[in-house]
Amino acid sequence: MTRPPPALACATLLLLGSAGHADEVTLNDLGGYVSPAWHTVEIVVFDRPGTPDTVDGRPQAVSAPRRYGRDLLQLQPVDGYQAPVLLDAQTRDCLEHPPEPRRAAGARDNAVAAPDSAPSPAAPLPEPDAEELLVAASARWEESLRASRYTEAPPESWRLTAAADRLGTQAGARILAHLRWHQELPPPQRSQPLLIQAGGNAGELRELEGTVTVGKDDNILVRATFWLHGPHIGAKPRPLAVSAQGNYGESPWEPLSLGNYLALSEARYLLPGEVNYLDHPRLGVLVVVEPVAVPAELAALFETAKAARKQQR
């Protein structure tokens, strides 16, 4: 029997370089302006069609009922993706500087102007300094991050494209799902599972179903549970729809009764930016979690404000 490559060997083969430039502005640098909890998550779930469903003669397919928990999150489709947009650094509308009326020379407080006198022109707005521009742009960026969280990022932003291609061309794998999104990472005990459905239809369900849960305390914790089912795994699935509306949160638990399926369930602590491989005799998952990248415009504002602070010392 041909065994799949060990996790370490596969991870070494597919690992992408994650080191950035030493002088790049990172999310940690912006800790006083933007929440450091914003991270990007990318996963590649794949199947090895030529791998037997047994290990050492023991079948890996199971038929126990599966359950989805309540309060599942769901990704928005890539077609509706809107990349975060920053305010132009020169856009003055982002700053709240109320205009003050210009006082005429020699005028006293509470003085009443003559009825036929022309109104004094408003005083020019004060020029915003570098710190004010940075604060305003940071707030606008975080607002756009919040508006587009849990939205599929377009394929051109994928980091694991080359690794996924090698899986298909060199390892004969079949890519079932390749997804990237950004979210805030709460503590693991408060993180919510994200529903993943991909592949072809198997009755009223999808070939691949499962959840990914990501949280962070001192370290990043990823919990992944995936179920692969279909006629090629054994008995034809006998799907039981969750509900007519596809609502997974109507009751505390929703059982899904199927025929045989393969299950991958693993929890892993990750380092930021490190590509990890979750192994299974038939399934596999590549996952990377890293702080969101700071846009070049915001990084330039940060450097300008930093230089201005040094000059004031």
What share of the chain has pLDDT > 70, as a percent?
A: 62
Q: In this structure, is residue 289 part of a structural domain? A: yes
Q: In this structure, is residue 34 part of a structural domain? A: yes
Q: In this predicted structure, what is the pLDDT of residue 37? A: 96
Q: In this structure, is residue 149 part of a structural domain? A: yes
Say whether pLDDT at 249 is over 70.
no
pLDDT tens digits, 37-85: 999 999 999 988 766 655 555 555 666 666 676 678 999 886 654 444 3
Q: Which of 34, 24, 67 is nearest to 257 (CA)?
A: 67
Query: How is residue 305 written in tokens?
Result: 């404000």
- What is the pairing mode between strands 54-55 and 58-59? antiparallel
Provide the domain limits for residue 300. 24-51+60-83+135-312
Q: In this predicted structure, what is the pLDDT of residue 31? A: 86
Query: How is residue 56 written in tokens?
Result: 């050492």
Mean pLDDT, residues 89-108 taken together: 39
Distances in whole angstroms, Cα of residue 310 to Cα of each of 28, 138, 304, 305, 307? 19, 20, 10, 9, 5
- Decide if 177 contacts 208 (C-beta within 8 A): yes
Mean pLDDT, residues 80-109 taken together: 40
Residues 6+ apart with CB under 8 A from 292: 27, 38, 39, 40, 145, 182
| 290-307 core/surface letters (b: 16 or more CB in 10 A; e: else) | bbbebbeebbebbebbee
Q: In this structure, is residue 12 part of a structural domain? A: no
Q: Which of 205, 191, 185, 211 is nearest to 258 (CA)?
A: 205
What share of the chain has pLDDT > 90, as a percent?
A: 44
Overall pTM surpassing 0.85 (yes/no): no
Q: In this predicted structure, what is the pLDDT of residue 48? A: 84
Q: In this structure, is residue 99 part of a structural domain? A: no
- Decide if 155 contacts 137 (C-beta within 8 A): no
Measured between alpha carbons, how far is 239 from 205 in angstroms, rounded to an integer? 7
Say whether pLDDT at 102 is over 70.
no
Q: In this predicted structure, what is the pLDDT of residue 115? A: 57
Q: In this structure, is residue 267 part of a structural domain? A: yes
pLDDT tens digits, 120-146: 777 777 888 999 999 999 999 999 999
Domain count, the chain: 1
Q: In this predicted structure, what is the pLDDT of residue 53? A: 59
Q: In this structure, is residue 35 part of a structural domain? A: yes
Q: In this structure, is residue 16 part of a structural domain? A: no
Q: In this predicted structure, what is the pLDDT of residue 25? A: 93
- Mean pLDDT score of the chain, rounded to an integer? 74
